[in-house]
Each structure stands twice: as C-alpha cells, then as structure tokens.
Structure 1
Amino acid sequence: MPISVWEDLESFVRMEAGLSQRKTLTRELDLENDLDLTGDDADDFMGKFFEKFEVKHGDFDFDRYFCGEGFNPFVVLGFIFSAKLRRKYDKEPLTLGMLEKAIEIGVWDSRVLAG
C-alpha cells in the first residue's frame, strides 16, 4: 500500500519537530504558533523540507512566515508606539496543509498555497 503525501509529511514533521505520536497533527496547524518552530529551528526545518520533498523554493520568503531568533526588549517597547513595527512582526501562518500542497505542486507558490 503506497504512503500518501500526508502520511509522509506527518512522519517528517514528527521526526524533525520532535513530536510524539500522541500529538494530533492537522492541516490547519501553524508551524510557528502551534508547533513552536521558530528562528534557526524553523530555518533548518524548511531547508530539510525542500530537500526531502524536492519542492522548488519558488517565492518562499522565510520572513513572511517566521520571526528571527532572539529577544530584543527595545522592539517590545516599540510595539506600544509603532503600528508599523507591529505589522513588521505580524507573520502569515504557514500550515501543514500548505506544506502538503507545496509537495503536490512541486514548488512554493505563496499565492496558490494561501488560497
């Protein structure tokens, strides 16, 4: 019986994100907010994703979906005074469903994956 794209992706996510079999994975889960993949860990994860599933990078932009590493108290204070700064740190969700669709189409196309 062939392994489906979802089963292969689920296995990959569990291994790379260190998730137990008890954790329920759904297509709506966001890598950063639900699975706590951020910064360098998220960068490594996405690099391995593109390589393993042979997905072309297309228009993938890390900063569109993830915040960088580190904590800067001045940035946190800046959130109080600057809507522009808050928007800079507002990231689009990157879901497991988007990863599945990218595997199916073979390229990262943000417009297609967001819809």
Structure 2
Amino acid sequence: MVTVTPPFSVAETRVHTLQAGSGPVVADTATVSVCYMGVNGRDGSVFDSSYQRGTPVDFPLNSVVPGFQKAIAGQNVGSTVAVAMNSADGYPEGQPGAGILPGDSLVFAIKILDVTG
C-alpha cells in the first residue's frame, strides 16, 4: 500500500530500502521479476499496480524509466524498496494514458522477487 498526500514532488530521485532482502545483488542490466505499485504525486492516484493485476512483472532494467532502474539496481533480491522519482527520472513528457502530466513526480513501492542475467 502506498499512500501519498498530494501534491507531492521531489527535486531529485530518492530511494529508501523498506526491507532488505538476502538474495543476490541486482545488476544494472539484469532482468527482474517484481511486484509494484505506482502513485502519481500530483494527485495521489494509483496509475499502475501489478498487485491489482495479481501477477508479477518481468523486465530488463535497461528498458525501464531511469528512476525504476535506480531503485532496483544494487538492491538484493527479496528487498522491498520505495522510490520517489522526479519527472526527469520518470516520464518527463508525461504519459497521458496513465494520467501522468509533464513534471509529475512518481512514487513506487517495489518488491524484488527474482533476478536473471
């Protein structure tokens, strides 16, 4: 659960380890399996959640927004992290389909389930 009191914004991306895992360290270019929830700092709305879909998501870290990579790379598998990312590390041009406007800060809670590569 991620609760954000809008309007929320950050000037620079910040990562906080909520619970440290004991698995292998995630490399910058690894493919990870995660569960996550993303909240828009401007209005506090959940714009994406693998928890709501009920299934983890797998992706290579070099194909996601920079803030997501900054949050996960260097963490241990099994960790839960929170990241508040500025617009430059999220969607600087916005993401209209998700209700994200240019300049919006985003907050994610991410559970790192597994890593390959």
TM-score range, shorter chain: under 0.3
Compute the TM-score of the two structures, normalised by the length of structure 2.
0.25
Pair member with larger Rg: 1
Greater share of helix residues, 1 or 2?
A: 1
Task: Give the structure with the larger strand fraction.
Answer: 2
